[in-house]
Chain A
Amino acid sequence: MSRQPIVSLETVTKSYGGINALESVSFELYPGEIHALVGENGAGKSTLCKLIAGVVAPSDGVLRINGEVVKFQAPKDASRHGISMVYQETSLVPQLSVAQNMMLGQERTFNSVRKVRNAARQVLQRLNFKVDPSQLAGSLSTAKRQMVEIARAVLNQARVIILDEPTAALTPEETEHLFDLMKSLQAKGVAMIFISHALEEALNHSDRITVLRNGRLMATGPATDFDRGGLIRHMIGEELNEQSMVPATGRAALSALPVLRVESIRMGSMVNNMSFSIFPGQITGIAGLIGSGRSEVAKVIMGHTKRNFGGGRIWLEGREVRYSLPAQAVADGIAYVSEDRKLDGFFESLSVSDNIGLGWLAKFGRRRWFAPLRKMRQLSREWEQRLSIRSIGADQSVLYLSGGNQQKVVIAKSLVQEPKLVIFDEPTRGVDVGAIAEIRQIVRKFAESGAGVILISSYLPEILDLSDRILVAKSGTIVAEFARGDATAEKILHAAIH
């Protein structure tokens, strides 16, 4: 191709705190091209898009627009170059009308309601959208909101539109409409990047496909050069063939009586009829894409969020339970290790010993009036040794530890409660490589001690490395179950996507 790319990345690296989200990736986008970006969760697709949209700046490497080197400080620099991003969580202001939303950020001091509405209507008509420009954005469906965002990009004369999982929340008809629209924009010379987990969409609707894995470029080329199997192979890579630590048939459950059984749990739009059982002494991995309702069901089990009215039943060791507060679940021996430790995992300004000690204290609920500080400190020291947490001192605040050590503190805070069942939600996210192996070893040892373990992970190699039994969640339901011996990355990914 002799044409000049409108966007090109040259050996771009983006690292967050020492971890590379993208590692010397080169990428080119040509005018009038629909480019699909595929890869597992955490492969670096969103980071790549954010770099182009000016949301984040590259740590290393060069970004060129029309051959010119640019350095974006903020998204508005990118939109000045005609680059617009349509986010998964739409960024419309619900209290403003469609027309006002489309003009957002480029209003004059005084705006004529009629002029704004007419300009919006023109664009909407040109794109063949049936949306009333005076309607409030908050009253629109997800599909229409996304279309309004695209219309906004068109109104801004965008030459590059980036769509982050545009079809995730759409019905099949809406998806068709979206791709029709993309084709018509393509005819006008607009270049588009879209992220998708549905491989068929990438194969059928794009001109070129780029596959990322672990922040590295795996393959890129015309869509016609790929098939489904090829894409999946590029997405999961070869390293899966390494020997797993789990015996070929998986550890057998210590008892046929499940430690936990949940039946048709429903919660909002995220969890839809989820049923499964967890057995003691083995690790049950729950694979799936982000947003498949796994963390949500974990929080329902903990009593942290409320299920729908009549939204299912939960048994702990054969006894039906219904928690309205996590304190009750913890008292019964269930612990949850959060997927986002900063958000709801640890107490950042408190010391390592306070964090672990508070976990232990929680087990007693209201029964202990005084906190035995010496005992808490001693317990903390014990667990620091067991999990080899490296801190400067027990009084050091957790904030200053490395990601891996922070995660170990969060795990210690739960394990110190000596639970019967632990839910590990993405236990190695944002953790340095050395600590990943250590944390997996901790999870393994804990299961071998006879407790039940649920492992929620979006990272297939982790699921395959640890699990004795694998469940696959999709759209809030368990869609497949594999015994250790039968599970392969291809089968799991197939179930999670379809």
Chain B
Amino acid sequence: MADWKTMINRGGPNTKLLEYVVMAVTVALVVVFSLTVDGFATLGNAGVILSNSASLVILSCGMAVVIISRGLDLSLIAVMVAGATTFSVFINADYPASMAFLVTLAAMALVGLANAWLIAYVEIPAMLATLASAMLVTGLFRFTILRGEFMLLLSKSSPAVVFLSGNIMPGLSTPVALMLVTLAATMLLLRAMSAGRTIYAMGDNFQAARLSGLPVRTTTIVVYVFAAFTALCAGLVSSAASGAVDFRTVTNGTLLFEVILVVVLGGIPLRGGRGSVRNIIVGVALIAVLRNGMTLMNFTSQMQDLLKGLVLIIAIVADNYLNPRDTETDTVGDL
């Protein structure tokens, strides 16, 4: 029993196994869908899968960075929608897109900063701090800007919306381009930047990171501001694509869980310290293929939720089995 596990995990403790299981399942799904579902195995559908998963990948990058640092950002979707709302209000009022973007960027950075301040300085658990800020942001925006409504429509003719939902060059849509940029930025942060190395250190052993003199507070700020930026980016892409900002994305909660699902399925343990961009891609690949295949088979959204829920449970059970509880998790908790 132990042998095949140690064989695969020579590099580190049980990090790669879940990743390989998920990859194998994805490949199997692709084969099954190709054989049974009409129109799955076409170049056009591959493009659809790619552009449909752009905002999920962007969000997952933010969440992955947070989780690697042994945090959790439950305000990710609230920030995404709030960012899109702020941007839309300025665009609909005919302000220049660059100014709208800068103002929104600053506002969302502030939310990320507030999260980080609560977590690093006030020392509130990340789960509670971000849950509270998610509710606060959602409430504030619905109250002040939407006046209790759920939807905010974007003018389809605005050049910013046209740009965000169009192509940056033939064959490369803006969402996919932004996705690639975010992936590259995440890789840069995690691999080359001092903050990235500190993120791994904090996730692996927070007390050791603190005692070694690493700037844990500053790094927490970097982490949550980065997450807020990815949320904003995803918000712009998805609202431009659908022509509206919809607060029900926050209130029904499924998107948030889908993002966590991607991260966990990709093989990034919730206790942090491990994971890379590759894990995000592995996780998204499974969810995107599953989602696309189920849509092509005309599954209802309820049925899709049910199946995704099942996948999440299996993934978490597998994660627990492959990364068993130890004294470390007992002292710091699971999240």
**Contact at B13–A399, with CB atoms within 8 Å?**
yes
Nearest first, the 3 A-B pairs at minimum CB distance are A330-B213, A344-B207, A362-B213
B-chain residues with CB within 8 Å of residue A498 when the two chains form the complex: none
Bound complex: CA A369 to CA B218 (Å) = 12
Per the 8 Å Cβ criterion, residues 364-412 of A in contact with B are 364-366, 368-371, 373, 395, 397, 399
Contact residues of A between 328 and 371, Cβ < 8 Å to B: 329-331, 335-336, 338, 343-350, 354, 357-359, 361-366, 368-371
Tell me whether A348 and B211 are in contact in the complex, defined as CB-CB below 8 angstroms, given that A364-B194, A369-B194, A399-B13 are known contacts.
Answer: no
Complex Cα distance, B213 from A359, in Å, reads: 8
Provide the bound-state CA to CA distance between A326 and B217, in Å: 11
CB-based contact B200/A338 at 8 Å = no
Known interface pairs A349-B12, A349-B274. Does A327 touch B192 (Cβ–Cβ under 8 Å)? no
Would you call B212 and A350 a contact (CB within 8 A)? no
Give Cα distance in the complex from A357 to B214, angstroms: 11
Quick one: closest A residue to B206, CB to CB? A344
Task: Given A349-B13, A364-B194, A369-B194, verify A413-B204 contact (CB < 8 Å).
Answer: no
A-B residue pairs in contact (CB < 8 Å), sample of 8 = A304-B211, A330-B212, A344-B207, A344-B208, A346-B208, A358-B198, A361-B214, A373-B191
Chain B interface, number of residues (Cβ within 8 angstroms):
30
Is A325 in the interface zone, CB < 8 Å from B?
A: yes
Instruction: Name B193's contact: one of A336, A362, A369 (CB within 8 Å).
Output: A369
CA distance A165 to B15 in the complex (A): 42
Query: Given A344-B205, A358-B197, A397-B12, A349 and B273 touching (CB < 8 A)?
Result: yes
* A347 contacts B215, C-beta separation under 8 Å: no
Q: Is the CB of A371 within 8 A of B193?
A: yes
Q: Which residues of B contact A326 (CB under 8 A)?
A: 210-213
Asked if A397 and B213 sit within 8 Å, CB to CB, the answer is: no
Contact indicator A371/B194 (Cβ below 8 Å): yes
| A453 contacts the other chain (CB 8 A) | no
* Bound Cα distance A326, B214 (Å): 8
Which residues of A have CB within 8 Å of B12?
349, 397, 399
In the complex, whether A417 has a CB less than 8 A from a CB of chain B is yes
| Per-position binary interface string of chain B over residues 178-206, scored 1 when its CB falls under 8 Å from any chain A CB and 0 otherwise | 00000000000001111111101100110
A366 near B218: Cβ-Cβ < 8 Å: yes
Q: Closest CB of chain A to B189's CB: distance in Å?
A: 10
Could you tell me if B204 and A347 are in contact, using CB atoms closer than 8 angstroms? yes
For A359, the chain B residues whose CB sits under 8 A away are: 212
Q: How far is the CA of A329 from the CA of B197 in the complex (A)?
A: 20
B205–A331 CB distance below 8 A: no
User: Of A329, A338, A350, A363, which contacts B204 at CB under 8 A?
Assistant: A350
Most buried by A among B204, B209, B211, B214: B211
Chain A residue contacts of B208, Cβ below 8 A: 338, 343-347
Contact call A371/B197, Cβ cutoff below 8 A: yes
Please tell me if the beta carbons of A338 and B211 are within 8 angstroms of each other in the complex.
yes
A349 touches B15 (CB 8 A): yes
Once the chains are docked, how many angstroms separate the CA of A217 from the CA of B12? 40
Q: Please, how many angstroms separate the alpha-carbon atoms of A480 and B213 in the complex?
A: 32
Q: B residues within 8 A CB of A335?
A: 213
> For A362, what are the chain B residues with a Cβ–Cβ distance below 8 Å?
212-215
Beyond the given A347-B200, A358-B214, A397-B12, please list 4 additional residue pairs across the A-B interface where CB-CB is below 8 A: A331-B213, A347-B208, A361-B197, A369-B193
Is A302 at the interface (CB under 8 A from chain B)?
A: yes
B222's nearest neighbour on chain A, judged by CB, is A366
Expressed in whole angstroms, the minimum distance between the Cβ of A379 and any Cβ of chain B is 13
Q: Does B44 contact A (CB under 8 A)?
A: no
Is the CB of B11 closer than 8 A to any CB of chain A? yes
Contacting pair A348 B213 (CB below 8 A):
no
Tell me, in angstroms, the Cα distance from A365 to B218 when the chains sit together. Answer: 9
Flag whether B287 is at the interface (Cβ < 8 A). Answer: no
- Please tell me which one of the listed residues B195, B200, B212 contacts residue A413 in the complex, with CB atoms under 8 A apart: B212
Q: A329-B213, A359-B212 are in contact. Are A347 and B194 (CB under 8 A)?
A: no
Cα–Cα distance between A395 and B12 once the two chains are bound (Å):
10
Of residues 23 through 82 on chain A, the ones whose CB sits less than 8 Å from some CB of chain B are none
B160 within 8 A of A: no
How long is the Cα–Cα vector from A461 to B315 in the complex, in angstroms? Answer: 52
Q: Determine how close the nearest CB of chain B comes to the CB of A72; give it in whole angstroms.
A: 22
Q: Are A354 and B197 in contact (CB under 8 A)?
A: yes
**Residue of B at shortest CB range from A364?**
B194
Q: Assuming the A-B contacts A343-B207, A344-B205, are A371 and B196 also in contact, with contact meaning beta carbons closer than 8 angstroms in the complex?
A: yes
B216 within 8 A of A: yes
**Interface residue from B194, B201, B216 paired with A350 (Cβ < 8 Å):** B201
In the docked arrangement, what's the CA distance between A358 and B216, Å?
12
- Least CB distance, A329 to chain B, in whole angstroms: 7
User: In this complex, what residue of A is CB-closest to B269?
Assistant: A349
Give every chain B residue within 8 A of A304 (Cβ-Cβ).
210-211
Max chain B C-beta neighbours (<10 A), residue from A329, A347, A413: A347
Task: Give the CA-CA distance A338 to B218 in the complex, in Å.
Answer: 23
- Mark contacts of A254-275 with chain B using CB atoms, 8 A cut-off: 1 yes-contact digit, 0 otherwise: 0000000000000000000000
Inter-chain contact A363/B213, CB cutoff 8 Å: yes
Task: Give Cα A330 to B166, complex, Å.
Answer: 51
Q: How far is the CA of A343 from the CA of B204 in the complex (A)?
A: 11
Minimum Cβ distance to chain B for residue A346 (Å): 6
Which residues of A sit under 8 angstroms from B15, Cβ to Cβ? 349
**With the chains together, A361 CA to B214 CA distance in Å?**
7
Nearest-Cβ distance from residue A362 to partner chain B, whole angstroms = 4
- Contact B200 A354, beta carbon cutoff 8 Å: yes
| Neighbouring A residues of B212 by C-beta, 8 Å | 326, 330, 358-359, 362, 413-414
User: In the complex, what residue of chain B is closest to A368 when comparing beta carbons?
Assistant: B194
Distance in angstroms between the alpha carbons of A346 and B192 in the assembled complex: 21
